[in-house]
A = this chain, B = another copy of it.
Amino acid sequence: MLPLPKKYFLTAASCEGETELTAFDRALLEAGVGNTNLLRVSSILPPGCEYEPGLIIPPGSLLPIAYGTITSCEPGARIAAAVAVGIKKDSFGVIMEYEGYCSKAEAEEMVVKMCREAFRVRGLELDEIKIAATEHLVEKIGCAFAAVPLWY
């Protein structure tokens, strides 16, 4: 089977670019995962996976990652992305992502709400929620990106 990730962190960043894809690329760079190969997952914190902020991912790595992202070409638009990790001791956790034309606070509120619902339907008690979020006022072409990279 594919190896179970053992470490994670949260990150969020926004950036402008000359195109939608390079705005995304630059937001990834700001978020510290721009030189890796994102492998998008949906989205459970493996049991025993430990929080390690500041983790450096080697360039080119296949990086399992849960993320929310939005790119916009509407100058003046406010965009935001957020992630939340719902944590329960001695259990797996749940990761929720959100992105939209909204403020950082609204995106944060959404991921927290979704995390609570995810725990409630699983009959799990929530010990802690970690969140990361970003908002951006689009100048020309902008991207907001929030993520939970899972690593080894």
A37 and B150 form a contact (CB under 8 A): yes
Q: How far is the CA of A36 from the CA of B5 in the complex (A)?
A: 12
Q: How far is the CA of A64 from the CA of B41 in the complex (A)?
A: 10
The 13 sampled A-B contact pairs (Cβ below 8 Å) are A2-B39, A2-B62, A4-B61, A17-B117, A19-B114, A22-B117, A22-B118, A25-B94, A25-B117, A35-B92, A37-B41, A37-B46, A40-B42
- Please give the count of copies of this chain that the complex contains: 3
* B-side contacts of A126, CB under 8 Å: none
A residues adjacent to B (C-beta < 8 A): 1-5, 17-19, 21-22, 24-26, 28-29, 34-47, 49, 58-62, 64, 66, 91-92, 94, 96-98, 110, 113-114, 117-118, 121-122, 150-152
Q: How far is the CA of A44 from the CA of B39 in the complex (A)?
A: 11
Query: A-side binding surface: helix, strand, loop or mixed?
Result: mixed
Q: How far is the CA of A28 from the CA of B95 in the complex (A)?
A: 14
B1 and A152 form a contact (CB under 8 A): yes
A49 CB to nearest B CB, Å: 7
